[in-house]
Chain A
Amino acid sequence: MADEGLVPWRQLALGMAMPEAGSAKRFNTGDWRGKRYPVTDRDKCIKCGLCWITCPDMAYLPDESAEGYYKWDSYYCKGCGICIAECPKQAIEWREEKEEDKYGPACGS
């Protein structure tokens, strides 16, 4: 059999529970992203927050350094484009991403 188990059965937590809270935070969905990523033009942005609400991977969070705006997180964005489709002002656009730029400064923290 080519497939192998990941964890010896005795080491699984009771009922295969995950005893650590918030471990999904480490899940690097940004790794799934293809060759493009969304970029927000803050001149067009009306701070409605729809990108934040509709993003399935919490890749947008309130920008603490610029009130009302939302900060994009490269570590979680899987490049689905929902934010681009939902933005009522067409403020978000695709930008081409080079392989070496993929893990930019904004990482899951």
Chain B
Amino acid sequence: MARRVGLEVSLACAEAAKLANVDVVAAYPITPQTHIVEHLAELVADGHLDAEFVPVESEHSAISACVGSSAAGARTFTSSSSQGLALMHEILFIASAMRLPIVMAVANRALSGPLNIWNDHSDIMAERDIGWVQTFAENGQEVLDLMLHAFKVAEDKRVCLPVIVNMDGFLLTHVIEPLLMPEQAEVDAYLPPYQPQQRLDIAQPISMGMVGMPEVYTEAKKASLEALLGSYDVVKEHWAGFAKQFGRQYKPIESYRSEDAEVLFVTMGSLGETCMTAIDELREAGVKVGSVRIRLWRPFPVDDFLAAIQGAKGLIVMDRALSPGVPAGPVATELRGLLYAKGYHLPVQNFVAGLGGRDVTRADFRMMLDKARKAFAAGGEMTCEMVGVKE
């Protein structure tokens, strides 16, 4: 039986890696990810986790060591944030191209400059196209659950791709909250030991990380792309298996009070919770508003998203990062493109909020709704507003 515990979410994340019985952890500490790897280092040092902890000299080395250990057939975990994730950048593409099932927890934090250690999504939005499966957690329980699910998906023979579990830095990582900690036996039943499809083995040598000449690069990218797109079914299948094992049900897109909603907020990560409470308060005042939350970001669950917004007369898309030089944040740009491609004529108002640790409150949601409804009524151009900029 699972135990109900109060735990800092970072520690829950590290405990999930322990429950997954990882073989190798290679990571470099960076705020706000630090507690995750600190705790794993302790677990290894104290003999509670039989794994190699590789104390590397940079994040570039961390992910490179992960590529090596995963290629050798070890269940491999790392974690980073912001500048650290950015320093991993070039290797992230290599990890997915080599089809290595590394799992990484990203404690989302703003990219400098100016130097800022607080939460937003600019770090991960700069890594949208790395070819990894990516999920976003809303709370501590989801961090733990998505971590276990990540290993299951990554190592599935039909996928063989690395997975990132995103969790808002500080807003989740540094919060103590209640969660259900599963027993080792339950996790073992869900997640059996890793059986690599291929690995570096001197008894049966193979070469990995080959040069892709023009004659083969396109085909190699196609193969990786198809693997990522194909992972969608596997992601859902393993969420179904998760529900069976642990009793908690997850979907690629989560809806809240959306049935008769005229306006829907679209959020990612921990913002979804404040959004839900704001919706409850607005509903009490008679406003038909709901929300959809994107849990599976890559591969993007197109059909689930379109099904979730049926009936809505307008969307309010929240971005927690800028995409300078284009008319919207990264999420809104993508969703507007998707809606256009699918023949929808649905207005999308975009708000960029919560940059670099700026709080996003229920009052902000009310303000956004108010502005968006006026814009929808006027039928004007779709805009993007940076919330709370002091003029």
Contacts and interface: CB of A to CB of B under 8 A. Distances in A.
Chains A and B belong together in one complex: yes
Interface of A: 3-10, 12-23
Contacts of A15: 97-100, 160, 198, 208-209
**Residue among B99, B198, B207 facing the most chain A CB atoms (10 A cut-off):** B207
Interface string B95-138: 00111100000000000000000000000000000000000000
Interface residues of B, number: 25
B206 interface: yes
Closest 5 CB pairs of A and B: A15-B99, A21-B205, A9-B219, A18-B207, A6-B215
Contacts of A18: 206-208, 210
Interface of A is mostly: loop
Nearest to A10: B223
B371 interface: no
B120 to A, nearest CB: 33
Given A17-B207, A18-B210, A21-B205, A12 B198 contact: no
A4 B219 contact: no
B99 A14 contact: yes
Contacts of A20: 206
Nearest to A23: B207
A17 B100 CA distance: 11
B160 A14 contact: yes
Contacts of A3: 214-215
Contacts of B306: none
B215 A9 contact: no
Interface in B213-236: 213-216, 218-220, 222-223, 226
B206 A17 contact: yes
Given A3-B214, A4-B215, A6-B215, A19 B220 contact: no
A45 to B, nearest CB: 34
A16 B223 CA distance: 9
Given A10-B223, A13-B198, 11 more contacts: A3-B214, A4-B215, A5-B215, A6-B215, A7-B219, A12-B223, A14-B197, A14-B198, A15-B99, A15-B198, A15-B209
A17 B222 contact: no
A8 B220 CA distance: 9
Contact of B216 (A5, A14, A23): A5
B212 A16 contact: yes
Nearest to A6: B215
B63 to A, nearest CB: 16
A19 B226 contact: no
Interface of B: 97-100, 160, 197-198, 204-210, 212-216, 218-220, 222-223, 226
A9 to B, nearest CB: 4
Nearest to B207: A18
B220 A9 contact: yes
Contact of A21 (B206, B212, B222, B226): B206
B246 to A, nearest CB: 30
A16 B222 CA distance: 11
A18 B71 CA distance: 13
A3 B218 CA distance: 11
Contacts of A7: 216, 219
Contacts of A13: 198
A5 B219 contact: yes
28 contacts: A3-B214, A3-B215, A5-B216, A5-B219, A6-B213, A6-B219, A7-B216, A9-B220, A9-B222, A9-B223, A12-B216, A12-B223, A13-B198, A14-B99, A14-B197, A15-B100, A15-B208, A15-B209, A16-B97, A16-B212, A16-B216, A17-B207, A17-B210, A18-B206, A18-B207, A18-B210, A19-B198, A21-B206
A10 B223 CA distance: 7
A12 B219 contact: yes
A14 to B, nearest CB: 5
B67 to A, nearest CB: 11
Nearest to A15: B99
B222 to A, nearest CB: 4
A66 to B, nearest CB: 32
Contacts of B219: 5-9, 12
Contacts of B99: 14-15
A12 B208 contact: no
A103 B219 CA distance: 34
B226 A9 contact: yes
Contacts of A23: 207
B343 to A, nearest CB: 30
